[in-house]
Amino acid sequence: MEVESCINYMLSVSQNAVFQYFSQQLSVYNLTPAQYGILNCLWNESPLSPKQIGKKLHLEASTVSTILEKLQNNDLIERNIDPNNRRTIQVTPTQKAQNMKFSVETIVSNMNDYILGEFTNEEKEILSKVLLTIIRKHSKHSDK
């Protein structure tokens, strides 16, 4: 088999290209793609526990913790003890994070348009379905 026919190769190379482009675009806000993922979760549903964030983004607890630390150091999130369960931390976006939401989401929308611009709507739907199927299959495998 040629390496170009290997699914890992195709996903890795395409993901790396998207990651590099996205990283460059987000650098204006001193954000990484991983930090954006967490902020997006919090912009859409808040508060969340670190465990809930990890589950939504398919990230290990240690990875979430490291990213949260950086976001907190940049005054983009607050971590507080859950008043209903003192063993749980609740994460919320700060006003600074809320203020950048529209601009950052515009970057994401523009990135999607740039990366997927040559695809028809049907091709975009198929690509999305295929990738989500891979994610679901991997998630089921990881849960075993």
Q: Which of 89, 110, 106, 7 is nearest to 42 (CA)?
A: 89
pLDDT digits (tens, 9 = 90+) for 96-117: 999 999 999 999 999 999 999 9
Q: Which of 103, 82, 104 is nearest to 35 (CA)?
A: 104
Q: Spell out, as residue ranges, where the chain has pLDDT lower than 70.
A: 140-144
pTM recorded for the entire structure: 0.88
Domain locations in the chain as residue ranges: 27-143
pLDDT at 13: 96
What residues pair up with 78 in beta bridges, in sequence order? 92
pLDDT at 141: 42
User: Any idea which architecture 27-143 has in CATH?
Assistant: Orthogonal Bundle (1.10)
